[in-house]
Amino acid sequence: MQISESLFRLTDRNGASKVALVAGAASGIGQAAARGLAVAGAVVICADMNAQGAQETAQDIVGSGGQAEALTLNIVDQSQVTATIEGIHSRHGRIDVLVCTPAVNVRKPLLNYTGDEFDKVIGLNLKGSFLMAQAVGRVMNEQKSGSIILFSSIRSVTVEPGQGVYAATKAGLVQLARALAAELGGAGVRVNCIAPGIVETPLTAQIKNRPDWYDAYARKNALGRWAQADEMAGPVVFLASDAASYVTGAVLFVDGGWTAIDGRFTPPL
């Protein structure tokens, strides 16, 4: 591959825009990912259970000169996932990128978890991502190309009280991505995870409303602050593009150094 200014562009050799499907595009990291992919040249399919939010993201992209469309999608509904992927493939003839971001967290001790709460967290975070990756992976396997990007978390490797089931799903996504990378690599399909640290999104709103909790998390990482959702767009575009053509089965930590350091305390040396 010759290095050029188009290394991060999401267009093919003929200059045609690649097609990127973003699940969870109505808000937070998914919305930021959709915008970033559009700036890089992709046609972005903005999917979310929140139909209005998905439409607003798509309209924002189009209003900024990009290409996008919106659709309503519940990723835990297998028949709906299958029909949606078939519909996108039928309309566009290709799916080049999948970004899957939806997640839920029930913060409570494991001994107090109910079976329904467990099913809720596992169902969306792990099963939903699996259904999306499986359906899109089948398309990419046939077309012999593509990039699947699943969203894990720092909780895949480090945990705290109240995060057990959420952490289990995020660790599970890493192994799911690695298995898919192994199974689809021969077809030229890449599968990776992004593992964010603390990001200001609707999922973490309850923490932002607690200054002591919010500040404690900020002090845990090397940069001493929370991430903004837009800071996840660059890593997404990287993994989606030819710049990451030899990257698969990997976990890209985008955590401000959270998993690299032992808190913010500097001992007297």
Provide the pLDDT for residue 263: 74
Give percent of the chain with pLDDT exceeding 70.
96
Q: Averaged over 190-219, what is the pLDDT?
A: 89
Provide the pLDDT for residue 179: 98
Q: What is the mean pLDDT of the chain?
A: 95
Per residue in 224-240, pLDDT (tens digit) is: 999 999 999 999 999 99
Are the beta carbons of 175 and 152 closer than 8 angstroms? no
Copy the structure tokens of residue 96: 């080049």
Cα 36 to Cα 144: distance, rounded to the nearest angstrom: 24
Cα 260 to Cα 221: distance, rounded to the nearest angstrom: 8
Domains and CATH numbers, the chain: 19-254 (3.40.50.720)
Q: What is the dihedral of CA 211, 212, 216, 219, to 10 degrees?
A: 60
Q: Averaged over 65-89, what is the pLDDT?
A: 98
Dihedral sign from CA coordinates of 107, 81, 27, 41: positive
pLDDT value at 114 more than 80: yes
Separation in Å, CA 200 to CA 29, 152, 214: 9, 16, 10
Per residue in 142-190, pLDDT (tens digit) is: 999 999 999 999 999 999 899 999 999 999 999 999 999 999 999 999 9
Query: What DSSP letter does each residue of 22-49 carry, written as one string?
Result: EETTTSHHHHHHHHHHHHTT-EEEEEES
Provide the pLDDT for residue 269: 58
DSSP state of 249: S
Are the beta carbons of 5 and 175 closer than 8 angstroms? no
Most confident of 59-63, 196-200, 223-227: 59-63
What's the predicted TM-score (pTM) here?
A: 0.95
Q: Averaged over 239-247, what is the pLDDT?
A: 97
Are the beta carbons of 9 and 41 closer than 8 angstroms? yes
Catalytic residue among 113, 166, 214, 246, which?
Answer: 166
What are the phi and psi torsion angles at 126 (to 5°)?
-100, -55
Residue in the block written with tokens 């979310």:
48
Cα 104 to Cα 125: distance, rounded to the nearest angstrom: 7
Per residue in 11-20, pLDDT (tens digit) is: 998 899 999 9
Angle at which helices 129-143 and 78-92 pack, to 10 degrees?
Answer: 30
Cα 37 to Cα 116: distance, rounded to the nearest angstrom: 36
Copy the structure tokens of residue 28: 């937070």
Are the beta carbons of 256 and 221 closer than 8 angstroms? yes
Give percent of the chain with pLDDT exceeding 90.
86
Q: Look up 166 and say whether it is catalytic.
A: yes
